[in-house]
Amino acid sequence: MNEVLLRSLTPSVLGILVRRGADFAAAEDAVQDALVKAVRVWPADPPRDPKGWLVTVAWHRFLDATRADTARRRREELVDEEPVPGPAPAPAVDDTLQLYFLCAHPSLTPSSAVALTLRAVGGLTTRQVAQAYLVPEATMAQRISRAKRTVSGVRFDQPGDVATVLRVLYLVFNEGYSGDVDLAAEAIRLTRQLAAAIDHPEVAGLLALMLLHHARRATRTAPDGSLVPLAEQVRGRWDTGLIAEGVEILQAVLARDRLGEFQAQAAIAAVHADAPTAEETDWVQIVEWYDELARLTDNPVVRLNRAVAVGEADGPRAGLAALAALDDSSPSSSSRGYPMPRRTAVAAYLHERDGDLATAARLYAEAAQKAPNLAERDHLTRQAARLNTRGFR
């Protein structure tokens, strides 16, 4: 059974049902039923036209449900509209792109948009999505049902917001891996699919960013699950194929001179990937890219990361000065605007670089107490313990 093929066909099959007049929520349920049947039937009896097979089965499943839920007049109209069996026709516009827009509709919460995208566009089952996000299947089913009801009144051909779609895909990518679904790989697959459907520089920028980050995946954690900082990662284990592809995509899109946030982030990742060792990193160029990124977005994390880069390029005291400037620049840049563990951890790192080990150890411990997850808490706790041990020698 080719699960990748099934997932890749899901959005186009769903789009065909919607264009035939099916309600989005009902059509999505019918497509899921068709996918389940395909998993059961195809290994012994593979169809010559997989997409046509899915469309036929899903359409009949929709009609069966419609007969139980709607009036006879509308039911007969839908039956009369059913096309003759045969290969599924190509839509006049790309249904896949419209589904991305629909599943990332601004009316949805980020968590709902992610869940609906993975199910309707990604072709994952509710169980798989629930396992990936470590919630009960019933909870995820309710979340997806609410999301489908929310967008049920949105016209399928209504223009969408590419930026919202990209944010949803990046949320999926950053979830990494859990359950039996590799969400980072799934996000890359969906972004490739989106890139094939629309010529947009930021789509290419996000794809390049994902590839460059994914290339380092095997080195980000130690065998015991602990975090490995970028400077300590074994660069010989980075995936050079993904790096080469990401850089090629990035260079092509930067040449179009339509810089966006994801392109700038990808450029920073590319500079890191280009350095043979951590010591050879071109931090001056990274600061310049953070300057570009700061002009594109008021995201406080960008300015926080820039302070780290300044500390590497111009020395830790310059980095601490940049960090202090953030707190003094505006209310939105104060400590209230920054993820406190992250800001405190940055301050700890820069104080350590400056030789103030006592202050660094205290700040590492403070950051650990407020860390958002166990891996970061353990990493910061170890940093504090390392400095405290050194101080007692």
pLDDT at 6: 87
pLDDT given at position 72: 46
Rounded to an integer, the average pLDDT of 165-178 is: 82
Question: What pLDDT does residue 337 have?
Answer: 46
At 5 the pLDDT is 85
Percent above pLDDT 90 for the chain: 52
Residue 1, pLDDT > 80, answer no
Average per-residue pLDDT for the chain = 86
- Residue range 333-348: average pLDDT? 68
22-56 pLDDT, tens digit each: 888 888 999 999 998 998 999 988 899 999 999 99
Reported confidence tier of residue 387, pLDDT bands at 50, 70, 90 = very high
Per residue in 188-222, pLDDT (tens digit) is 998 998 999 899 999 999 999 999 999 999 999 99
pLDDT of residue 96: 75
pLDDT digits (tens, 9 = 90+) for 78-117: 545 555 454 545 443 457 778 888 888 888 888 899 899 9
Q: How far apart are CA 326 and CA 329, in angstroms?
A: 5
Give mean pLDDT, residues 156-180.
78
Most confident of 61-65, 126-130, 275-279: 275-279
Q: Is the pLDDT of residue 393 over 70?
A: no
- pLDDT value, residue 154: 81
pLDDT over 70 for what percent of the chain? 86
